[in-house]
Structure 1
Amino acid sequence: MPKIVDHDQYRKELLMKSFDLFAQKGYSSITMRQLAQEVGVSTGTLYHYFPSKEALFLQLVEELTQQDILNFLAEAGNPPTLAERIETLFNFIAKNEDYFGKQTLLWVDFHQQNPSELMNNETLKQADEQSIQAIADYLRISDRALVDYVLNLLYGLLLRRIFGDKTLSFKQQGTLLSKMLTAYLD
C-alpha cells in the first residue's frame, strides 16, 4: 500500500529544518544541495517543493511570520492596559530572543545577497505588513508611525544584544516605551 504523505505538512517540516540550517550557516553560505543533504532528502525532493533557494526562503518567511503571530497571540492573552500589552510583547521577544536574533540575522544575510529584493518582493512586503498589523491590533494603536516606532525599538534591541550589549534589558526598555506611549497618547 502506498505511503500517504501530507504534502503541506511535509513542506512545513522541510521549511523548519531549513530555518535551523540557514540560521546556523547563513543564507549566502548554503546551497540547495547542502540543504537537501542536511535535512535528509534528495536534492530532487527539495526542488519538488521549492524551485530555488530564494523560493524556499520566501516560503520560510511566510511560514515563520504566520507562526510567530499565532504563537504570540496564543501566549499573550488580552491584557487590559497598553502598559501591560507592551510588557507582554517585550517579554515574549525576550523569552524567544535567540530565535528572533537568528531570524533577524538571516534577514540581514538575505538582504546582503539580494539588496533590491527586500524593497520589491511582494512576499516580503506582505510578511512585514502582517507583522505590523498584528502588533497594531494587539497594542490597539492605529497610528502607523507609533507601531513602526515600537518595531524599530524591538529590532534595535535585538541587534544591540546580538552584537554583545547584554546589559540592555527588554523589561526596562518596554517599561520606558510604555511610559512614553501612555504619556504621548493621553
Structure 2
Amino acid sequence: MPKIVDHEQYRKELLGKCFDLFAQKGYGSITMRQISQGLGVSTGTVYHYFSSKQALFEQLVEETCQQDLVMALAELEGTKTLKESMVALGRYLAKNEEYFIKWTYLWVDFCQHQDSKEIPGNNIFKRANQRYHQAACDFFGIQDPVLATFILSFIDGLLLRKLQGDEMIDFSEQCALLGEILTAYRGQESEFRSQNLGVRI
C-alpha cells in the first residue's frame, strides 16, 4: 500500500528546518542545493514545495509570524495591565534572545538582496506586518495604531542594538521601563481628554 503523505504538514516540517540553515549561512549566501543538502532531501523535492529561494523565505516569514504570535500570547497570558504585559514581553524576548537576534540578522540580510521598492508591496510581508500590528493592539489592550507601531518599532530597535553588540541592552529592563512610560502617557492622555471634555461642556 503506497505511503500517504500529508503535503502541507511535510512542507511545514521542511520550513521548520530551514530557519537554522538560513541563519547559519545567511540569505544571500545559501543556495537551494545547500538547502536541500541541509534538509536531507533532493533539490527536486525542495523545488516541488518552493518555487525559489525567495518563495521559500517568504513562506518561512509567514510560518514564523504565526508561531511567534502564539508563543508571545502564551507568555503574556494572565497579565492584567499594560505594565505587566510589557514586563512579560521583556521576559519573552530575553528567553528567546538568540532566536530573535538570528531572525533580525536574517531579515536584514534578506533586505540587502532585494530591490527596496519591492519589499513594501510584497503581500506576504504586508500580511505579517498587519498580524504583528494587530497583535500589539490585542496584547497590550490599545486602540491607537500609532502607539502599536511605536511599540513594534521599539522592539525592532532593541533587537538591532543587540545585533550591533550593545551589551547595555537588557530586554526585561527596557520593556519594564517602556511599560512605565506608556502607563504614564496613557494616564496623562486620559486626563487631557477629560479636561477637554469638561471645557466643551
What TM bracket, shorter-length normalisation?
over 0.9
Residues 162-183 of structure 1: per-residue CA shift (max 9 Å, x gap) = 2111221112211211111011
Partner amino acid for 2:141? R
- 1:136-151 → structure 2 map (5 Å cutoff): 136-151=137-152
Letter in 1 for 2:173: Q
Structure 2 residue aligned with 1:14: 14
Correspondence 1:62 to 2:57: no
**1:76 CA displacement:** 2.2
Q: Tell me which residue corresponds to 1:169.
A: 170
In 1, Cα distance between the equivalents of 2:83 and 2:174?
A: 12
Corresponding residue of 2:131: 130
**C-alpha contact (below 8 Å) 1:111/1:117 kept by paired residues:** no
Shift of 1:116: 2.6
Q: Write out the 4+ residue segments of structure 1 that deviate beyond 6 Å after TM superposition.
A: none
CA distance in 2, matches of 1:128, 1:136: 12
- Alpha-carbon deviation of 1:75? 2.9
Task: Give the letter aligned to residue 110 of structure 1.
Answer: F
Answering whether residue 183 of structure 2 is matched by residue 182 of structure 1, we say: yes
State TM-score, norm by structure 2. 0.89
Task: Quote the offset at 1:132 in angstroms.
Answer: 1.1
Q: CA deviation at 1:151?
A: 1.2
Q: What is the alpha-carbon distance in structure 1 between the residues aligned to residue 118 and residue 89 of structure 2?
A: 29
Higher deviation after alignment, 105-114 or 68-77: 68-77
Measure the CA separation in 2 of the matches of 1:149 and 1:75.
21
Structure 1, gaps ≥5 residues long: none
Are residues 1:120 and 2:115 paired?
no
Secondary structure, aligned partner of 2:19: helix
| Distance in 2, Cα, partners of 1:127 & 1:117 | 15
Q: Alpha carbon RMSD of aligned pairs, Å?
A: 1.1
5+ residue gaps, structure 2: 188-201
CA distance in 2, matches of 1:28, 1:65: 21
The size of the alignment, in residue pairs, is 186
Paired with 2:88 and 2:39, the residues of 1 have a C-alpha distance of: 34
User: Secondary structure of the equivalent of 2:168?
Assistant: coil
Kept in 1, the 8 Å contact 2:76–2:139? The answer is no
Q: Distance in 2 between matches of 1:145 and 1:24?
A: 35
| Aligned-pair identity (%) | 54
TM-score where L is the length of structure 1? 0.96
The alpha carbon displacement at 1:62 in A equals 0.4
Residue 97 of structure 1 is matched in structure 2 by 97
Give me the whole-angstrom Cα distance separating, in 2, the residues matched to 1:169 and 1:75: 18
CA distance in 1, matches of 2:154, 2:47: 38
Task: Give deviations 1:68-106, integer Å, cap 9, x for gaps.
Answer: 101111232131111001111121111111111111111
Q: Is the 8 A contact 2:75 2:89 kept in 1?
A: no
Aligned counterparts of 2:173 and 2:76: Cα–Cα separation in 1 = 19
